[in-house]
Amino acid sequence: QVQLVESGGGVVQPGGSLRLSCVASGFNVEENIIAWFRQAPGRERERVSCISRGDVTYYRDSVKGRFTTGRDKGENAVYLQLNNLKPEDPATYLCAREIEPHPNEAYCPTFPSFYDFWGQGTQVTVSS
């Protein structure tokens, strides 16, 4: 049974850090494209980061230099390190698996419709 479970969210002050984890079961994260999305109330779901099968990483412009994603191979998980959190970052953060492995090892689709399995999300709040 394919499952994704996120954890690590919380409340931090502006400039603070969090480390989110997405633990997978039922498949191997090393063989799949995994993305982090976020969704704030009243806003569309947007891709924050993605790691391709070949470990190429992608970030939306607003988080470049602040967020880092990677695989925790021993845990069959993907993490998202959030540094220097800003007032525009609060949202529910969700991880997702791309629908099927792509032959291009650098491929990482942007839109939610390309992903089939989703976690339940973890809440990130930035407040002083």
Task: Please answer whether residues 86 and 12 qualify as being in contact, where contact means their C-beta atoms are separated by less than 8 angstroms.
Answer: no
Q: How far apart, in Å, are the Cα atoms of 6 and each of 68, 74, 77, 106, 124?
A: 16, 16, 9, 24, 12
Which pLDDT score is estimated for 100? 80
Report angle CA 52, 95, 119 to the nearest 5 degrees.
140
Task: Please answer whether residues 82 and 18 qualify as being in contact, where contact means their C-beta atoms are separated by less than 8 angstroms.
Answer: yes
pLDDT category at 77 given cuts 50, 70, 90 is very high
Mean pLDDT of all residues in 24-36: 95
Mean pLDDT of all residues in 76-99: 97
Mean pLDDT of all residues in 59-69: 98
Residue reference for tokens 């982090």? 36
Which pLDDT score is estimated for 108? 95
pLDDT category at 73 given cuts 50, 70, 90 is confident
Mean pLDDT of all residues in 18-25: 98
Which pLDDT score is estimated for 32? 94
Mean pLDDT score of the chain: 96
Mean pLDDT of all residues in 58-69: 98
